[in-house]
Amino acid sequence: MSAAPRRASKRPATRKFANPLGDADHVDYKDVALLRRFISEKGKIRSRRVTRVTARQQRLIAAAVKNAREMALLPYPSTASSRNT
C-alpha cells in the first residue's frame, strides 16, 4: 500500500442553498410576489440552476407563471431589441 498524501480536489466545495419553496407541492398563480422571484427583469422564467428549485417545482412555477401571464398579472417577455438603430 502506498503512503502517498491525499491530493486536494480541484473543484471548490459547494455550498448548500436553501430551496426557496421548501416542500411546497402547489404554486398559486395569484401569488405574484412569489412568482416575481422566479422571473427576470425582462420577464423570462429563470432556470433551475439559478433559482435552486427541484425539477417538479420548476414545472409548477412555469405553469403558474404562464397562467399569471394569461390573467395579465405578470408581463410576457419583452421582445423589443435594445439596439438604437
CA distance 52 to 44: 16
* Dist CA 1 CA 83 (whole Å): 65
CA dist 58 and 85 (Å) reads 37
Answer whether 0.95 is exceeded by the pTM. no
- Give the pLDDT confidence of 13-23 residue by residue, as tens digits: 777 778 888 88
Q: Which stretches of 24-79 are DSSP H helices? A: 32-36, 48-51, 55-70
Supply the DSSP symbol for 6.
P
Task: Write the pLDDT tens digit of every residue in 40-74.
Answer: 999 999 999 999 999 999 999 999 999 999 999 99
Domains along the chain? 32-70 (4.10.640.10)
Grid coordinates of 55:
425539477
Amino acid at 31: D
